[in-house]
Structure 1
Amino acid sequence: MKFKGIIFDLDGTLVNSLEDISDAMNSVLTSLNYPTHTYDTYQYFIGSGLRNLVSKALPVSNNSQEQIETCFESMVKGYRETCTLKTKPYEGIVELLDNLASQNIKMAVFSNKADELTKKIATEIFPNHFDAAVGLSTEALKKPNPFEAVEISKKWNLKPEEILFVGDSDIDMQTAVNANMFPVGVTWGYRTQEELKNSGAKLVINSASELIDIL
């Protein structure tokens, strides 16, 4: 089948945002005299939304719902100002998007990052590349819920099976399976090839240029 559209995850797939996210959360932890975490640790906190990341970063002894919400608000406030400070596209991504655009392949972003931040990063780093950039607006619609992905397919007037879903995590692969889209895992992000395959990836790629070969 000829694929006519691609939905990309954002963090760990299109951009390396690890340091900006980690720095913002560590700033909150430092302000409360809580232990901070390394970048290597944060890469396993990313993928299920910033609220979930805050919960994982907080000490077990200070992890009440009230504390999570307070720290989440502080983290997002700081991150909003610095979310494109160190965040950069992965190698070959801009060239890939330009190539796909020249082939009239429809492209969108679907992330578990807050909707406001998803749109900000997508439009600032990749101006004019995407038909839509959708982030988390309510917890009920968080990936692996396929609702937003299916909504994008409807707007494109494409069948889900005509769309590649590209991401770097088990959550992304599960979302693709749930949406009946073709799951493509990438190894340059925050998870392993084994995790991607075990979560439903039908194909795992090691460089952005490999996506062109699929199409």
Structure 2
Amino acid sequence: MKLVLFDCDGTLIDSAGLIHETMRRTFLHFGKPEPSFEDTKSIIGLTLDIAIARMQGKQHADQEDIDMMAYYKSLFSVVRSDMDYREPLFPGILELMNTLQGRDEIILGAVTGKSRRGLDSVRETHGFKFVASRTADDCPSKPHPAMVTECCDETGMRPADTLVIGDAIYDMQMAKAAGVTAIGVSWGYASVTELKEAGADVIVSHPSEILAHIG
């Protein structure tokens, strides 16, 4: 048996455009300098209040960051309704997930900086069946290992039999902190070099390559 835990944004779905446009509008609403697309990409995967703080050079979120987070959440569905800001699956992801969901020895899970509502929307839209999942509503922000360790505890799986698949340095750092295998994907928002430096055990360039590493 293997427990396979997927990050969501940048790994399963291409949500950078949607996240950036919502973040851009949020910063402008609060009278902040408009963030660049690269600024937004660098924080995808973090819990939202911490992400907003980091984009302003702060290590910890204060009340203004929490207020900005609330505004961001209120705006997100409005921006998503715009046809220009959908959350498509990356090429090959649907085929990979269909294959994994058909294998009895695989337990699928999700560990994401999205809210529970956001993850449920992705799951329902694409038909993903996660046995265990943890979101920003449930655990401390990545790279804290709680998302992974709680999924292990819930499913009764050992870290040695668990893999985290993600596109961000925070995913790799979280995986190593939890003592599980870290698989980085090159189609997301961090570079291959950044993923390797963050502790990735292997890097894949297409979803089909993941099957070989699961075993």
Q: 1:33, 1:151 → 2: CA distance?
A: 39
Q: 1:25, 1:149 → 2: CA distance?
A: 27
Residue number in structure 1 paired with 2:76: 79
Q: 1:82, 1:46 → 2: CA distance?
A: 17
Moved over 6 A (4+): none
Match 1:65 to one of 62, 66, 69:
62
TM-aligned CA deviation for residue 167 of structure 1: 0.8
Residue number in structure 1 paired with 2:88: 88
Q: Does 1:115 align with 2:111?
A: no
Q: Do 2:97 and 2:128's aligned partners in 1 also have CA atoms closer than 8 Å? A: no
Aligned-residue RMSD, C-alpha: 2.3
SS class of match (2:153): helix
Q: Do 1:88 and 1:125's aligned partners in 2 also have CA atoms closer than 8 Å? A: no
Query: Structure 2 vs 1, CA of residues 110 and 100 (structure 1 numbering), >3 Å: closer, same or farther?
Result: same
Q: Where do residues 18-167 of structure 1 align in structure 2 (5 Å cutoff)?
A: 18-57=16-55, 65-83=62-80, 85-104=85-104, 105-117=106-118, 119-137=119-137, 141-167=140-166
Q: Where do residues 184-195 of structure 1 align in structure 2 (5 Å cutoff)?
A: 184-195=183-194
TM-score norm. by structure 2 comes to: 0.86
Q: Which amino acid aligns with 1:116?
A: R
Gaps of 5+ in 1: none
Percent identity between matched residues is 23
Q: Do 1:10 and 1:110's aligned partners in 2 also have CA atoms closer than 8 Å? A: yes
Query: Structure 2 vs 1, CA of residues 190 and 67 (structure 1 numbering), >3 Å: closer, same or farther?
Result: same
Query: Structure 2 vs 1, CA of residues 83 and 124 (structure 1 numbering), >3 Å: closer, same or farther?
Result: farther
TM-aligned CA deviation for residue 64 of structure 1: 8.4
Q: 1:187, 1:89 → 2: CA distance?
A: 15
TM-aligned CA deviation for residue 12 of structure 1: 0.9
Gaps of 5+ in 2: none
The number of equivalent residue pairs is 209
Query: Structure 2 vs 1, CA of residues 58 and 80 (structure 1 numbering), >3 Å: closer, same or farther?
Result: farther
Q: Do 2:44 and 2:168's aligned partners in 1 also have CA atoms closer than 8 Å? A: no
Q: Do 1:34 and 1:58's aligned partners in 2 also have CA atoms closer than 8 Å? A: no
Q: Do 2:169 and 2:198's aligned partners in 1 also have CA atoms closer than 8 Å? A: yes
Residue number in structure 2 paired with 1:197: 196
